[in-house]
Amino acid sequence: MLRRIALIITSGVSTALLLDVSAKGQEVNIRLINGDLISGKIVHEESNNLVKVIDNKYLGKIKIKKSTIAKSKREKAWKSNLEIGLDGSNSGSSSSSGYNIEGATKYKKKSNQIKIRGDYEVKRTKKNNNSLTGVRKGSSSIRYDRIQGPLWTTYTSTEYKYNALNKSGINTIITSLGMSYKIHENPKTSLTLSVGPSAKWFNGGKECQQDANCEKILGAGSFGAEFIWSINDKTKFIIENNLITAFAENLSPSNHFLSKLKFYPKKNSNIFSSINLEHTYDYHQDPKVETSYNLQVGTDF
């Protein structure tokens, strides 16, 4: 009986020692504040509250001050950005100046993802001491994605657009639901496609009453694409395109294209500048085509 107990105790102690040796011998990666990565086995008996000792396969024992070790960052549920742009011109008796504000916020946790965006632009022209508002437009949108797997999501979205210059369709609302598929993703690039049925409604403008589709809900189909390319630590390129085809008396397409090139002054900076190109075509609006360029500065938070 005593021999059996002794064997059990000896076996337990041996197992504990083996587990302890295994834990001590485990390879770890330590990221430093300057971005360097050091790998090796932790030498616990030589480490303390101020210094961590790593036994590297090639360099031997390395003493690392704990104050130089980067803290592991938890992925934030909310990510936002705000951008402001200014422009101006002068030609003889007239001059123009304007500004635009753009903001976006994104929430992602577990299987839920929400994107909220908004922008507003004003441009005033002064001629012969008379000030006129040349452009006043804005938009807001919200999109909810339910993650169904590594590549698939189901989504629903609503977008509102306002353009005071439109002769028909000053106000436009587009709502859509469907499925989204990430066809390509790696640490540098990603490409996501979205497709589904949608509905379109618009009103406003002096020619709205002459438009047979004004103030009617039109059934439509929606196809969207988003491409993101992190060129390097300081440069990011984004392309977004959304095609809506409304089923009225004939097929009535509208397309919104946006490209954005963002520059960060240094790695991990929250401040950036961006160059933006936006092109819009809408069969139901007058004017049907609009292209704009702007230079903005912004911050991520």
Read off the pLDDT of residues 39-50 as tens digits, 9 standing for 90 and up. 888 888 888 878
Q: Let me know whether 114 and 161 are in one domain.
A: yes
Q: Let me know whether 54 and 109 are in one domain.
A: no
Q: Let me know whether 170 and 275 are in one domain.
A: yes
Q: Let me know whether 151 and 264 are in one domain.
A: yes
**Which percentage of the chain shows pLDDT scores above 90?**
45
Inter-residue contact 196 to 220 (CB < 8 Å) = no
pLDDT of 291 reads 84
Domain boundary, last residue among 17, 45, 68: 68
Q: Let me know whether 62 and 204 are in one domain.
A: no
> What is the residue range of 53's domain?
2-68
Strands 152-163 and 78-91, by their bridges, are unpaired
Domain boundary, last residue among 68, 86, 110: 68
Q: Let me know whether 18 and 62 are in one domain.
A: yes
Q: Let me know whether 42 and 140 are in one domain.
A: no
pTM: 0.70
For residue 257, with 0-12 CB atoms within 10 Å meaning exposed, 13-18 middle and 19 or more buried, which class applies? middle
- Hey, which of 7-21, 246-260, 262-276 has the most confident mean pLDDT? 262-276
User: Is 73 a member of any domain?
Assistant: no
Question: Where does the pLDDT of residue 72 fall: very low under 50, low under 70, confident under 90, or very high at 90 and above?
Answer: low
Interval 216-237 mean pLDDT: 95
**Into how many domains does the chain fold?**
2
- The overall average pLDDT reported for the chain is 83
The C-alpha angle 167, 96, 119, rounded to 5 degrees, equals 60
The candidate with the shortest Cα–Cα distance to 156, out of 181, 179, 177, is: 177
Interval 74-100 mean pLDDT: 74
Q: Let me know whether 48 and 82 are in one domain.
A: no
User: Is 45 a member of any domain?
Assistant: yes
